[in-house]
């Protein structure tokens, strides 16, 4: 029987956060997800072994030593270019092993990174994916495998030490580029540097350093963060808001900006959503599941938002990222570094100074509403969900904005997303339901934070 040894590629220079989460003992052990792969997809004539690595990518000499030291029963080595998350990706790896097992030449082989990607498009592995000898020159690990899926009007291109973002909506690309080129000095450490840019007839491209970090959305969905990690992340974000420049305005102007961002935008997006061919079916499903008319629910939300905004007495706008969802935040567990990507941007008609409620609501629709899990069609574990919510609530309380108000703003953001995700129809009902959950929770989450504080006091007293 041949034996294939899968070695997880862990380059310390890449500061990979999930590396820390997935670290396992030296004994043969399968991380979660690989058991199913072993039983269902591995060729019967191949024994599978998981070998963790903690040093940087080995040199050619190290590979040669691996081959010479290998037991005679081990005829083939495979280097895995990253973790395998989805069942389709497990299946793709299984197909790759079948291809390798048919090769007559034993040796040290690697599955090239495109292998996993191409399977999901339904293409044939043998024709479109390479399995190459590790004694040949290796390409850099492609971190784009772990990046969140970009919107349909964006393209993200990873190339060694650089990342290119192509904005196919020129207005949004110009707004982002303008924002990134004019970051206030106090916030420069939170954003990537624009190395080059190009403004085309219908698009904008800008190039940044490859941060080689995982986005917070991915880590949250995978349950990779413990309590201390969340505390460090929110400590960084609190510092960001403290350092962000402020602009003094009247109470009336502050309320007008809130109305523009959460009520007027919702009205515009709902008019766009009315043109969707599948709207009636979605409305019927929503009513069947919630017992409410979606149109009526939107009107009720607008009424509640108007009442909340009318009570605001704030007078200070904050320099705002404008799209602070978890998928736009990069974080590294080892260095505790935070980097913010893909700002909403700024233009003549859209100032980067906004009510702080807007960025907090964006965080809420990731932390409380699990926006990224909906986009990736995944489920966050119950323990991870509880921890994520608790830490966000404690963070948001610092700003003296009621959780009730933030959940209303969160509902507005979810329903405002609907016409922007028509390319992913399966997500639309989930966004509608996420907004409904936020709306309903607006009246009950006050009890959640009270209970949280009681449990924390009890734990402190017992210690």
Which residues are within 8 A (CB) of 17 and not within 5 positions of it... i.e. 6 or more apart? 213, 214, 219, 224, 331, 332, 333, 334
Q: Average pLDDT for residues 440-458, to the nearest whole number?
A: 60
Q: How far apart are CA 226 and CA 100, in angstroms?
A: 38
Query: What's the total number of domains in the chain?
Result: 3
Residue 15 CA, distance from chain mean position: 17
Positive or negative torsion for Cα 373, 374, 379, 381? positive
- Residues 179, 259 share a domain: no
Q: Which residue has the higher pLDDT, 3 or 210?
A: 210
Give per-residue pLDDT as tens, 189-218: 999 999 999 999 999 999 998 776 778 887
Residue 99 banded pLDDT, cuts 50, 70, 90 = low
The confidence band for 317, taking pLDDT boundaries of 50, 70 and 90, is: very high
What is the C-alpha separation between 296 and 277, in angstroms, rounded?
Answer: 20
Q: Alpha helices of 152-293 — where are they, by DSSP H?
A: 170-181, 216-222, 227-243, 251-259, 265-273, 279-290
CATH number at residue 205: 3.30.200.20
End of a domain among 113, 141, 169?
141
Q: In this predicted structure, what is the pLDDT of residue 5?
A: 63
pLDDT digits (tens, 9 = 90+) for 341-395: 999 999 888 899 999 999 999 999 999 999 999 987 878 888 889 999 999 999 9
Q: Is the C-alpha dihedral spanning 21, 323, 362, 371 positive or negative? A: negative
Q: What is the pLDDT of residues 211-268, one digit of tens each?
A: 767 788 878 887 778 899 899 999 999 999 999 999 999 999 999 999 999 999 999 9
Decide which of 99, 114, 141 is a domain's last residue: 141
Task: Count other C-beta atoms under 10 Å from residue 93's C-beta.
Answer: 21
Question: pLDDT tens digits for 278-299?
Answer: 999 999 999 999 999 999 999 9
Q: How far is CA 19 from the centre of its chain?
A: 16
pLDDT at 378: 79
Same domain membership, residue 294 and residue 169? no
* CB 322 within 8 Å of CB 344: yes
Residue with tokens 């489920």: 379
Same structural domain for residues 346 and 439?
yes
Instruction: Give the pLDDT confidence of 153-193 residue by residue, as tens digits.
Output: 678 776 667 888 889 889 999 999 999 999 999 999 999 99
Quote the tokens at residue 53.
């690595």
Question: Which of 104-113, 342-351, 415-424 is least confident?
Answer: 104-113
Nearest 5°: phi and psi at 33?
A: 105, -30
Residue 67's domain comprises 2-141
Whether residue 242 is found in the same domain as residue 263: yes
| pTM (global) more than 0.75 | no
Which of 188, 209, 230 finishes a domain?
209
Q: How many CB atoms lie within 10 A of CB 141?
A: 20
Q: Give the model's pLDDT for residue 232.
A: 95
* 359/427 same-domain check: yes
Mean pLDDT across the chain, nearest whole number?
A: 77
Number of other residues whose CB lies within 10 A of the CB of residue 355? 26
Is the same domain home to 123 and 192?
Answer: no
Helix, strand, coil percent values for the chain (each to nearest 5): 50, 15, 35
- Judge contact between 337 and 331, C-beta under 8 A: yes
- The contacts of residue 224 (CB under 8 Å, 6+ apart) are 17, 18, 20, 21, 214, 218, 333
């Amino acid at each position: 029987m041949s034996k294939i040894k899968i070695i997880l590629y862990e380059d310390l220079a890449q500061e990979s956060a999930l590396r820390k989460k997935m670290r396992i003992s030296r004994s043969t052990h399968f991380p979660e997800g690989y058991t199913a792969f072993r039983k269902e997809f591995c060729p019967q004539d191949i024994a599978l072994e998981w070998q963790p690595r903690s040093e940087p990518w080995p040199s050619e000499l190290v590979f040669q030593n691996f081959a010479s030291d290998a037991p005679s029963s081990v005829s083939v080595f495979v280097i895995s270019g990253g973790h395998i998350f989805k069942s389709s990706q497990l299946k793709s790896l299984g197909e790759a092993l079948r291809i390798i097992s048919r090769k007559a030449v034993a040796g040290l082989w690697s599955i090239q990174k495109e292998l996993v990607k191409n399977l999901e498009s339904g293409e044939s592995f043998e024709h479109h994916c390479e399995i190459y000898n590790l004694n040949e020159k290796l390409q850099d690990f492609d971190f784009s495998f772990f990046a969140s899926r970009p919107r349909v009007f964006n393209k993200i291109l990873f190339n060694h030490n650089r990342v290119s973002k192509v904005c196919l909506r020129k207005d949004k690309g110009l707004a982002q580029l303008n924002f990134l080129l004019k970051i206030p000095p106090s916030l420069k450490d939170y954003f990537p540097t624009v190395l080059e840019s190009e403004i085309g007839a219908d698009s904008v491209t800008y190039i940044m350093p490859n941060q080689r970090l995982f986005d917070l959305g991915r880590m949250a969905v995978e349950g990779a963060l413990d309590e201390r990690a969340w505390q460090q992340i929110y400590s960084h974000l609190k510092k960001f808001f403290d350092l962000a420049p402020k602009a003094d305005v009247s109470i009336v102007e502050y309320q007008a900006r809130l109305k523009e961002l959460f009520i007027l935008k919702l009205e515009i997006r709902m008019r766009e959503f009315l043109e969707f061919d599948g709207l009636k079916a979605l409305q019927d499903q929503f009513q069947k599941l919630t017992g409410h008319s979606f149109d009526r629910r939107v009107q009720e939300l607008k009424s509640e938002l108007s009442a909340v905004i009318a009570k605001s007495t704030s007078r200070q706008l904050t320099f705002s990222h404008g799209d602070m969802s978890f998928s736009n935040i990069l974080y590294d567990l080892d260095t505790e570094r935070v980097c913010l990507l893909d700002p909403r941007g700024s233009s003549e008609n859209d100032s980067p100074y906004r009510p702080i409620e807007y960025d907090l609501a964006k965080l809420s629709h990731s932390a409380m509403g699990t926006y990224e899990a909906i986009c990736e069609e995944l489920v966050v574990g119950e323990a991870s969900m509880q921890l994520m919510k608790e830490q966000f609530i404690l963070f948001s309380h610092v700003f003296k904005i009621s959780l009730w108000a933030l959940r209303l703003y969160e509902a507005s953001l979810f329903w405002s997303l609907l016409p922007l995700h028509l390319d992913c129809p399966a997500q639309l009902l989930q966004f509608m339901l996420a907004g409904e959950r936020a709306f309903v929770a607006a009246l009950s989450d006050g009890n959640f934070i009270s209970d949280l504080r009681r449990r924390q006091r009890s734990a402190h007293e017992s210690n």
